[in-house]
Structure 1
Amino acid sequence: MSFKQLTPQQLANQIARQKKKIEKDKRRKQYEDIQIQGTNNSSIVSKRSVEMLYTTKLNPEMGEWFQYFVKNPKRRSPAINRGYWIRMESIKQLILRIIQKTDPNEDICIVNLGCGFDPLPFQLLSEFKITNSKILDRLTFVDIDYPDLVENKLKMISESDEILSVIGGINSNARKDLGIVLSSKNYNLVGCNLRDSKLFNEQLSTINANATTNIFIAEVSLAYMKPEHANPVIANASKYHNSHFIILEQLLPAGLQHPFAVKMMYHFDHLRSSLGCVQDYPLIKDQVKRFGEYYSVVEANDLLYNWRNLTSDNLKNKVSEIESFDEWEEFIVFCQHYVIVHATNNTINGMVYEESEKKEEGKIQIESESTLEVSFQTAATFERKFPASCYLNGKVFVHGGSGKTRESSMISFDVDFPNIKPEDFTDGVKIGIHEMTGDVPSPRMCHTFTSINDREALLIGGRGRPGQEFADVYKFNASDNSWQKIGELEAPVSRHSTTVLNEDEVLIFGKKGFVRYNHKTNKSFGVKQSGENSINYESCAFYFNGSSGFIVGGMISNSVPEVNDRILKFQFVEDDLIKVEEVVQHAEVSRIGSSCALVNKEILVIVGGVNSTKILGRENCIMAYNLKEKSFKSIPIDEMLIGFNLIEKDGKILCLGGGGVCYSFGSYYNGVVCISTTNM
């Protein structure tokens, strides 16, 4: 029916409905914009935490500027602190590298798109004033964000004599009619909805008319916009002379089903500030193609690459001295889900990343999916990461670990390994939290719990808070759930491995290398190594069958970290001498926090952890390496297996506990994973 065929009343009703829809859409858009602005509040609190702990020690010349925008500072967790530090440091380093490549006579305009309350201009002005004052005459900063947010930022700046001093006061000739609410020699504050490209271009041409180098920054600001709104901003920026664009956005390197991605997407959806670009550009190559539409030179790397290559090992060592940290699995997975893109139309001298050497993988065959059976079941009461477990007289015992806090309690499961079923681990089925007596160990994680006979097990080491490691050794008796402290090691251990040697001794492997410990005499001594330079890895996968064993991955240095990318075989040649030899070197085994088991004497099943070179997802979270055929097979599973324990018995591999904090998006916990190896 056409409008001409409508009665006057029908036409009036339709116009009213259309008007109502327009008003509803307008209110929804305003609400979405407000929610996006709200993400700024959490971000600056985290950045203030970094400033208090890291910036004051590593770059005191940058000053403390977040304090003027964060009235109630909070100290974030080490993993969040380090995550925000690397994203802030990455952007800073790219800006400095671009500036270093400019002609000394060129004027530079740095535009922060969706700036929020970020004080990046004040930090750099403060630093340049001390380190390179000549550059100040060449610099202009432009902060752009929603007009309402900019008005709040203007008020905070106006109330700070320190900020007014570093920007050189306020000029009275600011074009407030264009939304330029503050203008000074080096700094401009501008209110603009970035969807308004006409106003955006008019504002920028008014401010940076003389700039010969233009640097645009979008630190998770365009990420909330759909590509049809975000990409015109990139297109506009690319038209400026010697234009550089630096963007930080989220990635989906292992797809939407990866637990970190699930938590990340839910977090932003829950805040009503959904990510608008990540599903269109889920991979680094997609971002390269995106920016290639507007810029002739595009470089892109995830934050893990930036951590490894954009910052020196010396700087990383200094970072490690600021606060104790060992949440490498959580940090690495976070870094793998964020990309930094640098794009420029300067084809002569525009690239800022240095090409790093890539290792040759060799001719190691990687086959498709294996025929292993994998089953999975969530155990609701089993929310613990980095616990310790063992098998005693028909029960699996799980001690300690960290949930909402570090635990000292014990959980047990009745397990018939030959007939194991995932439902054996559901909430309320065959699960007991034990009342324990005797010398109950203090709450801890990253320790080992090793059965030495049918009813007794040794608990060794671990840590409380990061940096608080233990050297104590306890004996647990499953007959009466009693504990006895039996001694101390010569040095504390954490993230180590323990296996039985004989009825009196266990073998401990970790950052002190191989150590034999006699639990009856409380004596220990180091074991010498031959065939390899002395190895001492933390967080490696470790397997021992009584005469020989395997080591997969692990950290050589936990401040960088340097990660072992080999499978090593070891065996005793004397009581105090172990021979170590390389089995294979491959990127697939460059892992931290994985576990392994040998089945059918020739299949080494490598489970979980994180890879220091690539994301572990469905295809490669679990790999089976055939020692005879020298080939890998994939065992597909949609899990993030970190912080778990592995028990292998009767052709079954049981993965218990584990999980991690997904940056600031919330915690994820594994269920129970059972891998059947009987058909290999």
Structure 2
Amino acid sequence: MKPATHRQKKKKDTAVQVTNDSSVVSKESAAARCYFNDVFLQHFVCRAVRRAPLINRGYYVRWKAVDHCVRMFLHITEKCSQRQILSLGAGFDSLYFRLRADETLDRAAVFEVDFLDVARRKAALITSNTTLRGLLDSRLPPPAGPVHVRSSQYRLLGVDVREESQVEEALGAAGLDRAAPTLILSEVVLTYMETQRSDAVISWAAKLLPQSLFVMYEQIQPHDPFGRIMQEHFLKLNSTLHALRHYPDASAQRRRFLDKGWEQCVCLDMNEFYFGLVPEEERSRVESLEPFDEYEEWHQKCSHYFILTASRGSLVDQALLAPASVSPALSISPSWSPTALSVHAVPVWVEGLGMASTSLSPGKVLLTGGSSRRGRWPMASVLIRGQEGWRSISVEPVEDLGVRLYHTVTCLPGRGAVVYGGRSSPLNPIRGLFKVTFDPCGPPCPPESEGQDSVKVCVEQMVCTGDPPPPRWRHTAAITSHKENSCCFSAGRDFLFVFGGQNQSEAVLGDGCFLSVDQQHWTEMPVEGAAPPARHSHSACSYQGGVVVFGGLGGEGVPLGDTLVLRPTERGFCWERMDVRPPPVPRYSHCAHLTGEKLIVVGGVWLHSDGVPGVVVVDITACSSVEFSLDTTSVPWPLMLHSFCCELTDPEEPVLLLIGGGGNCFSFGTHLNPQPVTMELGAALG
């Protein structure tokens, strides 16, 4: 090997070893917040660091999936005279110490293999720590050769996993029994190897251990926006995810193992594992541990990682993953139209997530609130379409609106808009309503020829009577109207209908509240029909005096795909559920607009690994739907369509303007769409 090539290989190996240090700190953070019980991780970190709730959840589901497989294996083999666990690239994992303390390692041994430097560091930590050292059996001879820690039930080996002959020789010398039932564990290890090397490890394990269960946790779905951000992150760390190129999805990973000598294989992405194998009571416990409002990134992270079990031998077949049930949110797959809708970037810098928007007039869009790389503050702006395209103009003053995310801004009949709800943090919902109107002495925006770069608006807090609903965010607000209502003094008025959402005490809200716009009074209205399930992050569009509601995230943390219509009646309103065929794939954090009798639902997040949501068109009259993918080849950056705004720029032109969007992509960094994009709907509307 040439010196330069050797140095390059050494640099990459070091970068891979660094991922161990980061991973154990994240696992310790989750354990410290009681996501799972592991008192031994603290002994493997130099300094504890509190990770964000999103990262804690991500490492919880990883830990839970691996622990599930380990416990299942030990249960299936509990009557065997000998069984063993072989952990490849074990790093600073505490598995042995947890199992030893739980007294679940009866007639079992744990073998760990990792780089020489990692094994030496781990051995030093173990031998210098009285708690860890006390869980070892010191009656065996001192370790020698590649074995750095040796007890009757634990062997730590410093060998490069890629060197098959060396690994096989070292394991044999350490006492690995090829005939005993064996669990082979690989947590984000093989993907760092060149694919030819990792394939060889999988084949080698199948040949060496005829009664074995292979458990692997790794990444998938490299080509969608989240997957692109994920890959870029590991490239920056000099830790390329090699397996993604040849095995991009769960189906390819299953074929991989079957082709490499394994008899059976089950592969689940982490959404499938979480909703299929983690009991609802346990999910509720975990979801209540910390304030949390990053659902989109949580579900996307889970759709980009998988847990796989592959088996050889009849005994361990029983330990294969078997979901208890399949959520409806996962059972409905998208059926794509052959037509893709084109998306084009708009050359104006506007970014942010959790903003709200409303169309003031054709070619004029008001934006409020949100969070960007510059932080959070009481910001608002107007997007204006002129002869030379779109431009952004700041709005002054806006201090009365406060800092808010995931609120609504609803255009009122006539002039102005109502800003309602939102939050500054998951513990601080925004109370009160504000009416925004433009300076009556001038137009909403000055002529472009004047070269002004700001617009003055009037922000007035609305003092409302009646019984106000609880504060909330991730709700919807739409204008409804009722011509006759003998039981209500607000008869014949327009109402702001607020539905769903969440707040600091309720994960989902299912109430619908009516605000008489003219009288500024929260009004009780008779509503008949079966009440819809509680939800947040859904959409609601004004329709024939009522509202059309679509999707959202339900009470069990699962996306909904229902279409509901709130229709005016003689006495009040009535809920109706549409039986749409084919049923749209459940999703949330999308936007929606009505064009005639067609509901245009854009973007969002679903639980499928099969692509990302594009546009689904729901025909209200025909009760039918069509899913369209998006052609984003002309957009030079990953387009993330969640936590964004969407407006029809002109009723005469079926063009949507999509503004903002993005999120904190797990531990891979924050991505925000830097520019708005336009989408032509002609092909979708027919």
TM-score, length of structure 2 as denominator length: 0.86
1:226 to 189, 194, 200: 194
Q: CA deviation at 1:504?
A: 5.1
Q: Do 2:329 and 2:558's aligned partners in 1 also have CA atoms closer than 8 Å?
A: no
1:95 to 45, 70, 80: 70
Which residue of 1 is the match for residue 657 of structure 2? Answer: 654
Describe the SS at the equivalent of 1:136: coil
Which residue of 2 is the match for residue 270 of structure 1? Answer: 236
Amino acid at match of 2:589: G
Which residue of 2 is the match for residue 477 of structure 1? Answer: 437
1 CA distance for matches of 2:244 and 2:529?
48
- CA 1:520 to 1:208, structure 2 compared with 1: closer, same or farther past 3 Å? farther
Describe the SS at the equivalent of 1:334: helix
1:376 to 345, 350, 356: 345
CA deviation string 1:575-626 (max 9, x = no partner):
5432322232656330011122222x23322111111344443xx4222234
1 CA distance for matches of 2:111 and 2:664?
35
CA deviation string 1:259-292 (max 9, x = no partner):
1121111111111111111111001111001111
2 CA distance for matches of 1:574 and 1:138?
74
Which residue of 1 is the match for residue 533 of structure 2? Answer: 535
Amino acid at match of 2:495: E
Which deviates more, 73-82 or 511-520?
A: 511-520
- Counterparts of 1:144-543 in structure 2, within 5 Å, are 144-165=113-134, 167-171=135-139, 173-177=141-145, 179-210=146-177, 212-238=180-206, 239-252=208-221, 256=223, 258-292=224-258, 293-347=260-314, 350-351=317-318, 352-355=320-323, 356-357=325-326, 366=335, 368-370=337-339, 374-377=343-346, 379-380=348-349, 382-393=350-361, 395-404=364-373, 405-415=375-385, 423-424=389-390, 430-436=391-397, 440-453=400-413, 455-479=415-439, 480-487=456-463, 489-501=468-480, 505-510=495-500, 511-525=509-523, 527-543=525-541
Describe the SS at the equivalent of 2:157: strand
Q: CA deviation at 1:26?
A: 1.3
1 CA distance for matches of 2:190 and 2:11?
17
Describe the SS at the equivalent of 1:464: strand
Q: CA deviation at 1:448?
A: 0.5
- Counterparts of 1:566-645 in structure 2, within 5 Å, are 566-574=562-570, 576-584=572-580, 588-599=584-595, 601-617=596-612, 620-627=613-620, 628=622, 630-638=624-632, 639-645=639-645
Q: CA deviation at 1:123?
A: 2.4
Q: CA deviation at 1:346?
A: 2.6
**Aligned residues: CA RMSD:** 2.7
2 CA distance for matches of 1:678 and 1:198?
62
1 CA distance for matches of 2:55 and 2:162?
31
- CA 1:40 to 1:366, structure 2 compared with 1: closer, same or farther past 3 Å? closer
2 CA distance for matches of 1:473 and 1:232?
63
Amino acid at match of 2:228: V
Q: CA deviation at 1:456?
A: 1.9
Q: CA deviation at 1:116?
A: 1.4
2 CA distance for matches of 1:242 and 1:87?
25
Amino acid at match of 1:288: R
Amino acid at match of 2:498: I
Amino acid at match of 1:675: M
Amino acid at match of 1:125: R
- CA 1:674 to 1:583, structure 2 compared with 1: closer, same or farther past 3 Å? farther
Amino acid at match of 1:641: L
1 CA distance for matches of 2:11 and 2:109?
32
Describe the SS at the equivalent of 1:591: coil
- CA 1:598 to 1:50, structure 2 compared with 1: closer, same or farther past 3 Å? same
Q: CA deviation at 1:320?
A: 1.3
1 CA distance for matches of 2:478 and 2:371?
23
Q: CA deviation at 1:572?
A: 1.8
Amino acid at match of 1:654: L
Amino acid at match of 2:565: K
CA deviation string 1:416-443 (max 9, x = no partner):
6xx8x8x41xxxxx32233315x61331
- CA 1:567 to 1:658, structure 2 compared with 1: closer, same or farther past 3 Å? same
Q: CA deviation at 1:468?
A: 2.8
Q: Do 1:361 and 1:587's aligned partners in 2 also have CA atoms closer than 8 Å?
A: no
What runs of 5+ residues in structure 2 fail to find an aligned partner? 440-455, 482-492, 501-508, 633-638
1 CA distance for matches of 2:230 and 2:215?
22
Which of the pair is proportionally richer in helix? Answer: 1
Q: Do 1:224 and 1:275's aligned partners in 2 also have CA atoms closer than 8 Å?
A: yes
1 CA distance for matches of 2:142 and 2:360?
76
- CA 1:440 to 1:273, structure 2 compared with 1: closer, same or farther past 3 Å? same
Describe the SS at the equivalent of 2:578: strand
Q: Do 2:336 and 2:629's aligned partners in 1 also have CA atoms closer than 8 Å?
A: no
Which residue of 1 is the match for residue 448 of structure 2? Answer: none
Amino acid at match of 2:499: F
CA deviation string 1:166-200 (max 9, x = no partner):
x23545524422x0011123222110101111121
Which residue of 1 is the match for residue 504 of structure 2? Answer: none
Q: Do 1:325 and 1:467's aligned partners in 2 also have CA atoms closer than 8 Å?
A: no
Q: CA deviation at 1:450?
A: 1.2
Residue 679 of structure 2 corresponds to residue 675 of structure 1:
yes
Describe the SS at the equivalent of 1:193: coil
- CA 1:198 to 1:319, structure 2 compared with 1: closer, same or farther past 3 Å? same
2 CA distance for matches of 1:610 and 1:250?
18
- CA 1:477 to 1:98, structure 2 compared with 1: closer, same or farther past 3 Å? same
Q: Do 1:369 and 1:636's aligned partners in 2 also have CA atoms closer than 8 Å?
A: no
Describe the SS at the equivalent of 2:656: strand
Describe the SS at the equivalent of 1:340: strand
- CA 1:353 to 1:362, structure 2 compared with 1: closer, same or farther past 3 Å? closer
Amino acid at match of 2:122: K
2 CA distance for matches of 1:189 and 1:532?
61
2:89 to 107, 111, 114: 114
- CA 1:197 to 1:187, structure 2 compared with 1: closer, same or farther past 3 Å? same
1 CA distance for matches of 2:256 and 2:331?
32
Which deviates more, 353-362 or 506-515?
A: 353-362
Amino acid at match of 1:340: I
1 CA distance for matches of 2:610 and 2:332?
21
Amino acid at match of 2:376: R
- CA 1:629 to 1:485, structure 2 compared with 1: closer, same or farther past 3 Å? closer
- CA 1:397 to 1:367, structure 2 compared with 1: closer, same or farther past 3 Å? same
What runs of 5+ residues in structure 1 fail to find an aligned partner? 1-20, 425-429
**Fraction of identical pairs, as percent:** 24
2 CA distance for matches of 1:362 and 1:217?
29
Q: CA deviation at 1:218?
A: 0.8
